[in-house]
């Protein structure tokens, strides 16, 4: 059955990339309404449905846009809502980016637990595949296979001596998402941070909000030995939440937000109607 929040959630923070303060309110919503963002700081509030056709940028985050308005870095919050089984909600923001929380999905999951999730007595509609679907780009690969559950396998490949290759696989249930995936933070390589900030990105980042990889060691303490690949799975859960509930086994090698969006577009076309 579809679910929504028992009561609304309020949270204030800053955007990971913009560094701007933002107030967020997540409200219960009616069955079949899905997840919808609402910019309430504009002269006329703009609603942006959390659907793949509203993706306008995938540069180091997933950004949605409509009617000249945008919402940056939606993936961690969407992963939290989808991972905790929330189908319908309205997310009101008074700025252009979702707050970063603690750099993972954990804080949002804790807020959802506190608010409560309620059954809406309307069946949940899952997207299901009949045939495998794949995408690739410059040595990065994703394939979605027919399955009776949502499962993600990820291989993170790098020649960086600190990180190396990491692999993880999880069936995405509320229990597994909360215990194994939600706390994994976004990753940043120390030598790339200044260049990102010159591009206007990572302006709200800090050592508390990310796994920072130095030349010869991790700059800060890890929450999991393979925290990076767990966060990559978190990102996939968030990006594919733009499709609504999904049953498929997604296998990814070196993918990121751009490839996630490419796969989501193909999945949407294959499962339309």
Reference 3, options 38, 27, 28, 36; nearest CA is 28
What is the distance between the alpha carbons of residues 148 and 134, in angstroms, rounded to a whole number?
Answer: 18
Q: What is the DSSP letter of 99?
A: B
Residue 227, Cα to own-chain centre: how many angstroms?
15
Q: Which of 17, 231, 249, 257 is catalytic?
A: 257
3-state secondary structure 230-250: HHHHHHHHHHHHHHCCEEEEE
Residues 57 and 261: beta-carbon distance below 8 Å: no
Beta carbons within 8 Å of 70's beta carbon, 6+ residues apart: 48, 56, 57, 63, 64, 96
Active site residue 257: yes
CA distances from 2 to 26, 37, 87, 215 (A): 17, 19, 6, 46
Residues 50 and 105: beta-carbon distance below 8 Å: no
Q: What is the dihedral of CA 95, 100, 106, 108, to 10 degrees?
A: -10
Catalytic residues: 257
């Amino acid at each position: 059955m579809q679910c929504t929040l028992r009561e609304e959630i309020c949270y204030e923070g800053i955007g990971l990339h913009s560094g701007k303060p933002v107030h967020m309110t997540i409200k219960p919503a009616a069955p079949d309404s899905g997840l919808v963002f609402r910019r309430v700081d504009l002269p006329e509030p703009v609603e942006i449905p959390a659907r793949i056709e509203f993706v306008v940028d995938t540069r180091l985050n997933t950004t949605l846009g409509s009617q000249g308005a945008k919402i940056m870095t939606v993936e961690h919050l969407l992963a939290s809502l989808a991972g905790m089984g929330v189908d319908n909600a309205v997310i009101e923001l008074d700025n252009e980016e979702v707050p970063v929380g603690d750099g993972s999905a954990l804080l949002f999951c804790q807020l959802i637990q506190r608010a409560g999730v309620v059954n809406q007595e309307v069946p949940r509609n899952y997207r299901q595949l009949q045939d495998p679907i794949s995408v690739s780009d410059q040595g990065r690969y994703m394939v979605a296979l027919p399955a009776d559950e949502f499962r993600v396998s990820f291989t993170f490949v790098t020649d960086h001596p600190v990180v190396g290759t990491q692999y993880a696989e999880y069936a995405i249930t509320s229990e597994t998402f909360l215990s194994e995936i939600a706390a994994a933070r976004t990753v940043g390589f120390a030598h790339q941070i200044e260049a990102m900030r010159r591009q206007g990105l990572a302006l709200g980042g800090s050592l508390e909000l990310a796994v920072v990889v130095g030349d010869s060691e991790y700059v800060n303490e890890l929450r999991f030995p393979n925290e990076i690949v767990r966060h990559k799975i978190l990102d996939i859960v968030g990006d594919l939440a733009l499709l609504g509930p999904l049953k498929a086994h997604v296998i990814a090698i070196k993918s990121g937000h751009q490839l996630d969006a490419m796969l989501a577009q193909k999945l949407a076309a294959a499962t339309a109607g």
